[in-house]
Amino acid sequence: MPAIQLRELCGTRAGDKGDISNIALFAYSAEGYEAIREEVTAERVKAHYGDLVQGEVIRYEAPNLLALNFVMYGALGGGGPRSLRSDNLGKSMGGALLRMEIDVDDAVHRSAPRRRPHVTFVVPPPLAE
């Protein structure tokens, strides 16, 4: 089974409550959801974050959203108002999870969207006074 990075299969958003960070993974397809549900366990996520996450990791499933939600304790250097980290609210913590590689079926590997940014914003000129 080929390996693939989670960034190819899902999006993410991170939230904070005190020293708890929650990371939601949103699969881009039903097949992708089954793949992450199978492979991205709480244990693997805990190991992935290493010393960034001091406490336990709990996983919840939201199949209606094709999503997994990881609740990670002791994850924000003590929490927003006391963390010495630049990212004291853990806004970037979801991105860190997208580095993880998992094994998937050939079909999932082939159909992964592999989106990459192509920035074409055209900023309008300032309005005339």
Partner 1 sequence: MDDASRRSVTLAGGQGMYGDDVPSVSRLLDERIDYLCLEALAELTVSILAKDRGRDESLGYTKDLGQYLSLALPAVADRGLRVITNAGGVNPVAAGRLAVEVARTQGLSGLKIATVVGDDLTAQIDSLDRELGLINVDDGRRWRDHVDDLVFANAYLGARPIVDALEQGADVVITGRVADPCLFLAPLVHEFGWAWDDYDRLACGIAVGHLSECGGQSTGGNFSGDWWTIEQPWNWAYPIVECDADGSAVLRKAAGVGGRVDFDTVRHQLLYEVHDPAAYLTPDVVADFTSIRLEEVDQDRVRISGATGRTATPTYKALAATALGWAAESRVAVSWPDAHAKAQAIAQVFRKRVAIAGLTVDAWHEEYWGVNALHGSTVPLKDDDDAPEVMLRVAWRCRDRRTAERIGRQMPPIGLSGPAWGVNGTGKGMIGSASQHLELWPILIDKGHVDAGVRVQVETV
Contact set with partner 1 (CB under 8 A): 11-13, 15-20, 22, 24, 26, 28, 48-52, 58, 60-67, 69, 71, 73, 77-82, 84-89, 91-92, 94-97, 99, 115, 117-121, 123
- Compute the distance between CA of residue 18 and CA of residue 80 in angstroms, rounded to an integer: 6
Q: Which is nearer to partner 1, 123 or 128 (CB)?
A: 123
- Compute the distance between CA of residue 7 and CA of residue 2 in angstroms, rounded to an integer: 15
| Angstrom distances, CA of residue 126 to CA of 34, 121, 123, 129 | 48, 15, 9, 9
Q: Which is nearer to partner 1, 67 or 106 (CB)?
A: 67
Q: How many CB atoms lie within 10 A of CB 66?
A: 20
Q: Which is nearer to partner 1, 106 or 120 (CB)?
A: 120
Least distance to partner 1, CB of residue 94, Å: 7
